[in-house]
Structure 1
Amino acid sequence: MNKLTKLVKDWVPTLLIAIVLSLLVRSYVAEAMRVPTESMDPTIQVGDRVIVEKMLWATSLKHGDIVVFHPPIAGETKLFVKRLIGLPGDIVQIKDGALYRNGAKVDETYLAVKMDYSFGPVTVPKDHYFFLGDNRNISYDAHLWDTPFVAKDKLIGKVVLEIPLHKLRD
């Protein structure tokens, strides 16, 4: 057996296993994604990267989580990245520049600018969620969609790590 044949025989199975494992991890466990818009500014800025954990069956979502999902917008193919504001059964309202959940004002320290619109109140249906961007006044999010709720089966994963590449550019 010549050297090339031995090299191929030794390395091809290892490379194939590595490729298959990589595809499985990216499809079902975690994936790096780039944020293309200002809707999550100042938390996540344009061009920053996030690591999205896709094993939602193994974790529970909570208010304030940042989630990647398919929006309830006909014909939209891009994924959205927004903050989870309402869980199933929550009553969500925006009034006087503030968010209210189940009648209580929510302290949103991550917002840079007060909201300049009103919305709701709406009740989040079973197996659905309500999302808003952190840059509320320019974010194309639930307060502007015809259907403001995202079905559970449209969720991709939860952001577990933010990589602020904008700081490298500054």
Structure 2
Amino acid sequence: MPVASPLSLVDPIDALLSAHGLRRTDAARRVLGWLLAHPDTSYTHAQLQTALQNDTATEAQGETGSTLDRVTLYRLIDRLTQVGLLLCRVDARRVRRYQAMPASVHALPHFECQNCHRDQPLQGALQGNALDLEVAAQNALQALKALGYQGLSLDLAVRGVCADCATAAQTTNQTP
């Protein structure tokens, strides 16, 4: 019977936290685990707190999953963002949104609707140009690093009116 090596027993979330110099607390595991499990979704602080509370409510009794207070969550999000595990975006309404930041990605393009304020990832829509975008992001980051800038990330936000809102506006304008 093969014996599992000690490296195969390491939780990937614990490994990420350790590699970035963070403590492996239950709260850190829950927050990072949730965001990594939902990579295409960005959350406000309040949305993330609600999602984690709802997730806790559905867990079986006896498992870890105590609720996180607001301040603890703010501090944890801040630490995860500082070490590059989360991407923090500020939308047109000045609302901060957080999303897991894959290590291999230097730009996460997204669309912000100025009407309904939904935030939608554009990775699927830009698949044909994704490599060009990645190369441009890497070049920009390398140029800034050469100038001495540190702790860099790149956010590509396209702002406008989404197709749903545009269609609704056309329908409203055509109705007598």
Q: What TM-score range do you get, normalising by the shorter chain?
A: under 0.3
Q: TM-score, normalised by structure 2?
A: 0.22
**More relative contact order in 1 or in 2 (CA 8 Å, sep 6+)?**
1
Taking structure 1 as the reference length, what is the TM-score of the superposition?
Answer: 0.22
Structure richer in helix, relative to its length: 2
Structure with bigger strand share is 1
